[in-house]
Chain A
Amino acid sequence: MSTTAWMVVAFLAVGVGIGSYLLSITARRRVLNRRLEELEGRSPHS
């Protein structure tokens, strides 16, 4: 494998790493928003 290919692999790894973390934050936020909507539907103050 050429050193250019290793460089591409490293840059892709960084992109995938940061992208995966952002996806995990988005997924957790969706779950929490859904839960909040559920709770607001059941809340005595809704």
Chain B
Amino acid sequence: MSSSNTQQSGLDARATDSKVRLLGVVAWLSVAVALGMMFFVARVDDFNGPVQKIFYVHVPSAWLAYLSFAIVFVSSIAYLRTESRRWDLLAHSAAEIGVVFTSLVLITGPIWARPIWGTWWQWDARLTSTLVLWLVYVGYLLLRGLSTDPSRTGRLAAVVGIIGFINVPIVHYSVNWWRTLHPVGPTVADPVNNSGFEAPELATFFVALAAFTLLFAWLLAIRVRLGRLADDVDARALVVEGLRDPGPAARRSPSPAGSET
């Protein structure tokens, strides 16, 4: 590799660093704005009281869980078609973040349910299918963590990522398909339905949704970079152990990853 190419890749890495850092700043600022709106713009619900504000973090978390697993689904298909490591890494990263946000859905839901329903949990269709969704993707991550053959793991995980996505529409439409205790609306697609929302609440909801989505994009970017760093370490380890020719990727010095966190 020529020195000009090495310099160019260093410049590219620095430009990516700046973009990720900027995305992080914008994401956290929008989260701050959303939090401000939740407490100072959205009015307290007449019937359920302040606890209803959990809605503004619960629904965006559920949206991000759907989005994460949709990315896993698409990336898994792309990986099986191309065997390109970047799709595998994207699927793995999105699955990890999806599990984080599904966990937040499963934590904030019962915290809302305890004072409103008088119970932490009901085995109704929405709650049970969400728990199954969480278990499927925890299984996906365990599969990736326990296996020692990266290529085989990638293919197996891609199959799980594709099949697991079947549960996402089941979770979403469970409240329509079965009689459940979980409120039918509002949803991301139809926030006005059954909500009694007016302009301040709707604005808060959409700002929260946008802020969480920006936060997701930033988390995904830094998680993918972590995966690339792990790949660099593996490649370098093989070179040091004398098992592989270094090649251009291993010869270059990786930039210090993710200083933006």
- For chain A, residues 1 to 46, give those with C-beta under 8 angstroms from any C-beta of chain B: 1-4, 6-7, 9-11, 13-14, 17-18, 21-22, 25-26, 28-29, 32-33, 35-36, 39-40, 42-45
| B112 contacts A6, C-beta separation under 8 Å | yes
Task: Knowing A3-B49, A29-B257, A43-B240, say if A35 contacts B111 (CB, 8 Å).
Answer: no
Distance in Å from the Cβ of A29 to the closest Cβ of chain B?
5
Distance in Å from the Cβ of A36 to the closest Cβ of chain B?
5
B interface secondary structure, majority: helix
- For chain B, residues 105 to 122, give those with C-beta under 8 angstroms from any C-beta of chain A: 107-108, 111-112, 114-115
Contact count A vs B, C-beta below 8 Å: 97
Distance in Å from the Cβ of B212 to the closest Cβ of chain A?
10
**Interface range for B:** 35 or more
| B51 contacts A17, C-beta separation under 8 Å | no
User: What separation, in Å, do the CA atoms of A25 and B220 have in the docked complex?
Assistant: 11
User: What separation, in Å, do the CA atoms of A29 and B223 have in the docked complex?
Assistant: 10
Find chain B residues with CB under 8 A from A2 CB.
50
Residue in B50, B222, B251 whose CB lies within 8 Å of A7: B50
Q: Which residues of B contact A (CB under 8 A)?
A: 48-54, 57-58, 61, 97, 100, 103-104, 107-108, 111-112, 114-115, 215, 219, 222-223, 226, 229-230, 232-233, 236-237, 239-240, 246, 251, 253-254, 256-258, 261
Q: Which residues of A contact B (CB under 8 A)?
A: 1-4, 6-7, 9-11, 13-14, 17-18, 21-22, 25-26, 28-29, 32-33, 35-36, 39-40, 42-45
Beyond A14-B61, A36-B233, 14 additional contacts (C-beta under 8 Å) are A1-B115, A3-B48, A11-B54, A11-B57, A14-B57, A17-B107, A18-B104, A21-B100, A26-B258, A28-B226, A29-B261, A36-B229, A36-B254, A40-B253
> Can you list 16 pairs linking A and B with CB atoms under 8 Å apart?
A3-B48, A7-B51, A10-B57, A10-B111, A10-B112, A11-B57, A13-B107, A14-B57, A14-B104, A14-B107, A17-B103, A18-B215, A21-B100, A22-B261, A32-B257, A40-B253
